[in-house]
Homo-oligomer: A and B are copies of this chain.
Amino acid sequence: MSKELIFGHSNPDTDAIVAAKAYSYLQNKLGYDTEAVALGEPNPETQFVLNYFDESTPRVIKEASSEVDEVMLVDHNENQQSVSDIDKVTVTHVVDHHRIANFSTTLPLYYRAEPVGCTSTILTKMFDENKVEIPAQLAGLMLSAIISDTLLLKSPTTTDDDKIALKTLAEIADIDVDKYGIEMLKAGTNTDAKSDKELIDSDAKSFDLGGKSVRIDQINVVDFDDILKRKSDILKAMSDEASAENYDLFLVLVTNVLNSDSKLIVLGEPKDAVESAFNEKINDDIMELPGVVSRKKQVVPQLTDAMVK
């Protein structure tokens, strides 16, 4: 059996990197020859996690076909989120928790997706199903991915499976999840180290809603003032980028990961649709969104309803 690479999506978050390492460990135990790699450098949160558990950073690759014929994907399946030459290799395995789109194969493959909060939750089950023990350090990485994807089980994407997996992994790793989790989430929120442009770019996605070009970024913080103190500079950066990229509406969702509230910075039009989507008023470019933490579940569908007639 020839060697295969395993990787998560580009712009990797903690789950993308951890799930690759965990799946590679499992597959190698089951007789495959795999290496976990990454499609980008770890972000500050992931780097904190790797340091904390004294685990190596995966090698970053730009293309796969020069090294291998076959690959395994974790935490994504869509072509445009994968390695640049994904069309030149054969995908033999996928473990994921997203929708399936822009993905097809010519051969049967192993595909395991579940609608849970984190890929590492699915992998926790797969270790159990295959009767392979999870080493303590790896369990530490995997529980970090669950904390990251579910914001300490507070995101509405959280399922019972995530809660069970987190508990199992915490026992193996011997970690106090609440204490460690806050420390880890804080490590990922060092906004002072980022420029205004980095802040509005780093987790931004584009959407076409009712013919309007909408850009939605999300910034995690432990204190709203870290962002509010530079609001005018951030609005300027948003305005510059909206002009350059022809965005009609630019939203920056600032999420406090400690108390699970958000504030939405709003630039552009239609503002009335944004207000009606969330049934809140915009004051000085900001809308309060108490209890909102998930762009995927609590922002995009509501905006879609308000903007797509």
Contacts and interface: CB of A to CB of B under 8 A. Distances in A.
Interface in A12-31: none
Contact of A108 (B98, B125, B129): B98
A113 interface: yes
Contact of A111 (B106, B113, B296): B113
B110 A99 contact: no
Interface string A101-127: 111111111111111000000000100
A89 to B, nearest CB: 15
Nearest to A296: B108
A253 to B, nearest CB: 18
Interface residues on A, range: 20 to 34
A167 B198 CA distance: 56
A113 B109 contact: yes
Contact of A113 (B110, B300, B305): B110
A100 interface: yes
Nearest to A125: B129
Interface string A142-168: 000000000000000000000000000
Contacts of A297: 108
Interface in A256-275: none
A304 interface: yes
20 contacts: A98-B108, A99-B105, A99-B109, A100-B103, A100-B109, A101-B104, A101-B105, A101-B106, A102-B104, A103-B104, A106-B301, A106-B305, A107-B115, A108-B113, A108-B115, A108-B296, A109-B113, A110-B113, A111-B113, A125-B129
Given A100-B100, A107-B115, A111-B112, 4 more contacts: A98-B108, A106-B301, A109-B113, A111-B113
Interface of A: 92, 97-115, 125, 129, 296-297, 300-301, 304-305
